[in-house]
Structure 1
Amino acid sequence: MIDAGVNVFRINFSHAEYTDVKERISIIRSLNDEFGYNTSILADLQGPKLRVGVMKEDVVVAPGDIVTFQTAEDVPGTADKVYMNYKEFPRDVNPGERVLLDDGKLIFEVKETNKETEVKAVVIQGGPLKSKKGVNLPNTNVSLPALTEKDVKDAIFAAQEKVDWIALSFVRTPKDLQELQDLLKEHTDHKIPIIAKIEKPEAVENIDKIVAYCDGLMVARGDLGVEVPAQEVPLIQKKLVHTAKAARIPVIIATQMMETMITSLTPTRAEVNDVANSVMDGADAVMLSGETSVGNYPVQVIEKMTSIIEAVEDSPLIQVPQDVPQIRTKRYITKSVCFHAAQMANDIKAKAISTLTNSGYTAFQISAWRPKAHILVYTSNKTVLTQLSLLWGVNAFYYDKMLSTDETVDDVNAMAKNHKYVAKGDMLVNLVAMPVFEKGMVNTLRISEIE
């Protein structure tokens, strides 16, 4: 799978036993060590999953039927009464609000609630009512925290396993992200970047605030397409990618990208277009789920997706927001140097931009400008090496020599040539922090011609 094109493996904690996860993590890391890969690991927290209980027998509901959802006891459900695992449901919900089941296949409208244990709803769109199916409440202000008890346990476990990224499901406000940040600070001594999964209308409304508190976004089109009308998702996807690019953070497009390839060796033309358009919108990563977890052709689907990405990612049609850094934060100098490095690399047709980094910050900045040049990142921080695998166009290398600036530049240029990113006569843009030994913020830009 790694040879076929995987840069990041997502571990879905909705379906994960810790012993299995430990085994997967150790396989990925030992392959990284053995073959010199930098494959990254993303822990994806389940978030508050609302579900109905088990049904007594096959239940089919028709439009106009009245169904009571009860939260008092987990007993088998019937066509009249169904258990819901979300205790606050009767208190949170109001008459007129919609209840969606099984990815929106069934639609109910709330008629009345006793505000304690029971909610009566009328069926708007009927069909088979199956056991343990997920519930979405697009109009309801759900009082559940984004971090459930299960998520807290899973996040602590993931932090102890030193995963590279953690994704938080059903983010609604910056507060959800702050809670996870505080939890991680308590349980790990290094920063684990957080990806906010955008799958609720509330998150789309709060997106400008959310990007200030996360390190990446995931456009989770599955739940998003249930919570908002499906025809609105394409423009929301474009808006989210644009917002992430303007904030200089990576963005992942997920869900049903190559769904047909779960059972077929050939994707539909629409799926090929979807993957290509996501890349051309400016996504850093496109994600497979069922295709590689339960599909029949896990390696072939990766090869196919890789071929689509490689066919379109160099297109001049791809535009990113070119807003010059203006706000004079403490990172202003670094931001400015990275922006100009990307611009200059394009102007002088440089083959590569190289940067030394301890935190990975310059890699995020340069990658976000989408230069035509290779982005080569050298770091002595092994954690950063694998984290950067999620970013567009970044190739990271371990480098721990402490030399003068001139010697360092010569050294990394020689490595770039050895790895065949540049050849004699090519231009290369070098970014360094002077003095090098302080490992400070990048403040210097230099152009080299490869000898």
Structure 2
Amino acid sequence: MPNKKKTKIVATLGPATSKREVLKGMMEAGVDVFRINFSHADYEDVKKRVKMIRELSEELQVYTAILADLQGPKLRVGVMSGEVIVAPGDEIVFRTGKPFEGTAEEVYMNYNDFPRDVNPGERILLDDGKLMFEVVETNRKNAVRAKVIQGGPLKSKKGVNLPNTNISLPALTEKDIKDAIFAISQEVDWIALSFVRHSQDLIDLQQIIEKHSKYKIPIIAKIEKPEAVKNIDKIVAYCDGLMVARGDLGVEVPAQEVPLIQKKLVLRAKKARIPVIIATQMMETMITSMVPTRAEVNDVANSVMDGADAVMLSGETSVGNYPIQVIERMTSILKSVESSDLINVPQEPPHVRTKRYITKAVCYHAASMANEIKAKAISTLTNSGYTAFQISAWRPSAHILVFTSNLRILSQLNLLWGVKAFYYDRFVSTDETIEDVNRIACQKGFLDVGDMLISLAAMPIKDKGMVNTLRVTEIETCNL
């Protein structure tokens, strides 16, 4: 029986992962999804990486997913002239318009509507909150005067956060629209949208995908603004997954509030039956060290215990010295905790509300029954991937084996907790199909003689309709 982890690992691409053998080593060590960060992406380089990942997936017979992460409205200051240090009590002018080299007296801001959006008394945070300013006055045109509250070195091109300001900039900037169209042309599996605040942000991205893609590309909403936490119910209704982006979130809201927000968001995602990724600083020390800290090991383990589908690495794999070792270390942490009885995922049955109630109910009972009869696997045939999302969210102790003839969803499903997807295009009688599926599950090492298997199917199979049938089988032979 293979000891396969169920929690997925998302790894960010970067200079440290430009070589084919490094990517291969990472995939063998346990990467399930590669993330392209469009804040730093070069299109030609992205094309090469995507091609390499797809070729390696075929070679290794895995379906590694590709996630395109759009930058969103990232506010930044301009280039500084030399070393600039600001001290508490100093005043500085943030100026928009034509870029210029900044000094301790004035600095360029890349966001033109900044003077119109901010108000006196609001905070301006720079460089992940290391520097803090308070708005004194704005001319509503091109200049904002601010007082330094927390000083230090003011460095070039550092990110700006405005936690108290209602920003008029849309979540999808011109750059994001261009990047999204390019990502769609590369047939990525998921698209993440940064700084989501309202459901409209997601609707806008959906429309771009519908216009430029023949297939549905699921969207992940990155939660990193206080407004997003407040509007979470509406956001969840329009996205296919959540990312708890703790970097910017920990700057926008007091850092001590982030752990409870993380727990709240994971629970909300589970209730909506969509995957949730925990991101930022998970194994930060391993950028330069071979060994993570005890606190980092705990953080990864606790994210799994909260019920995360996936944990994400950023700098650790994009610019770190040990991209393969960090995956190996993370895999060992995931395997050691994910089967714990202490993991508590809400198990309330689905409510009669939608046309898919039957499918939801069958998936819920399959997961419950699998735990009750100690089934080794739940297998399902799917064309849309819907049943995979449903079963995964119930967190059964059994492996979730998904068989599909839809090549587009094979790698998409790789983000979901506990799901293993296989290509299968023989849609014959129910008995024959179930025998086929059992044989493949045995071949891949998920089942053995005497094991219990729960099979879900849509009857009649050739119609590829909604799942409406649950069947329990004891494996009598494993004819390989």
**TM-score, length-normalised on structure 1?**
0.99
Whole-angstrom distance in 2 between the partners of 1:54 and 1:421: 55
2:433 matches 1:392: no
Matched with 1:447 is 472
Measure, in 2, the Cα distance between the counterparts of 1:385 and 1:375. Answer: 13
Aligned to 2:20: none
Q: Secondary structure at the match of 1:231?
A: helix
Aligned partner of residue 287 in structure 1, secondary structure: strand
Q: Count the aligned residue pairs.
A: 451
| Counterpart residue number, 1:4 | 29
Partner of 2:246: 221
Question: Helix, strand or coil for the counterpart of 1:54?
Answer: coil
Q: Report the Cα offset of residue 72 of structure 1.
A: 2.6
1:37 positional shift:
1.0
Q: 2:154 aligns with which of 116, 129, 135?
A: 129
Counterpart secondary structure, 1:211: helix
Is 2:202 the partner of 1:177? yes
Match of 1:297 in 2: 322
State the distance in 2 between where 1:411 and 1:193 align: 30
Matches within 5 A, 1:36-185: 36-185=61-210
Counterpart of 1:82, as a letter, is V
- Give the SS at the match of 2:313: coil
Amino acid at match of 1:369: W
Shift of 1:213: 0.5
Instruction: Quote the offset at 1:73 in angstroms.
Output: 2.1
Equivalent AA in structure 2 for residue 53 of structure 1: G
User: Aligned-pair distance for 1:328?
Assistant: 2.5
**How far off its partner does 1:177 sit?**
0.2
- Unmatched 5+ stretches in structure 2: 1-25
Counterpart CA distance in 1 for 2:364 and 2:288 is 44
Paired residue for 1:432? Answer: 457
**Residue segments in structure 1 that go unaligned for 5+ positions in a row:** none
Give the aligned partner of residue 253 of structure 1: 278
**How far apart in 1 are the matches of 2:130 and 2:120?**
21
1:363-442 equivalences under 5 Å are: 363-442=388-467
Query: SS at the partner of 1:68?
Result: strand
3-state SS of 2:27 partner: coil
Please state how far the C-alpha of 1:280 moved relative to its aligned partner.
Answer: 0.7
C-alpha distance in structure 2 between counterparts of 1:298 and 1:36, whole Å: 21
Give 2:238's aligned amino acid.
Y
Cα distance between partner residues in 2 of 1:316 and 1:218: 25
Separation in 1, partners of 2:270, 2:27: 26
Hey, what's the Cα distance between the residues in 2 that align with 1:207 and 1:408?
A: 41
Are 1:344 and 2:374 counterparts? no
Distance 2:198 2:442 in 1: 46
User: 1: CA distance between counterparts of 2:394 and 2:302?
Assistant: 18
* 3-state secondary structure, aligned to 1:424: coil
Find the counterpart in structure 2 of residue 211 from structure 1.
236
In 2: Cα distance, 1:350 partner to 1:323 partner: 21
Which residue identity is paired with 2:31? Answer: V
- Give the drift of 1:14: 0.5
Q: Report the residue type matching 2:44 in the other structure.
A: T
Query: Residue 238 of structure 1 aligns to which amino acid in structure 2?
Result: K
Query: What's 2:353 paired with?
Result: 328
- CA RMSD in angstroms comes to 0.6
Query: Could you tell me which of 241, 252, 265 is aligned with 1:240?
Result: 265
| Paired-residue identity, % | 75
1:205-252 per-position Cα deviation (integer Å, ceiling 9, x unaligned)? 011111110000000000000000000000000000010011000000
SS in 2 for 1:440: coil
- 1:358-383 per-position Cα deviation (integer Å, ceiling 9, x unaligned): 00000000000000101000000111
Q: CA offset at residue 327 of structure 1? A: 3.0
Q: CA deviation at 1:34?
A: 1.6
- Runs of 4+ more than 3 Å apart: none
Q: Does 1:199 align with 2:224?
A: yes
**What letter corresponds to residue 160 of structure 1 in structure 2?**
S
**Pairing 1:14–2:39 present:** yes
Higher relative contact order (CA 8 A, sep 6+): 2
SS at match of 2:268: helix
Deviation of 1:92 (Å): 0.3
Deviation string 1:135-188 (CA, Å, 9 cap, x unpaired) is 000000000000000100110011111100000000001000000000110000
1:358 aligns with 2:383: yes
Q: Which amino acid aligns with 2:62?
A: Y
Letter in 2 for 1:155: A
Read off the aligned partner of 1:231 and give its amino acid letter.
Answer: Q
Distance in 2 of aligned mates of 1:321 and 1:67: 50
Aligned mates of 1:80, 1:46 — CA distance in 2: 29
Distance 1:169 1:327 in 2: 33
Query: Partners in 2 of 1:57 and 1:258 — Cα distance?
Result: 33
Residues in 1 aligned to 2:61 and 2:323: alpha-carbon distance in whole angstroms: 23
User: After superposition, what is the alpha-carbon deviation per residue over 1:89-137, rounded to whole angstroms, capped at 9, x for unaligned?
Assistant: 0000000000000110000000110111111100000001111111000
Q: Which amino acid aligns with 2:346?
A: P
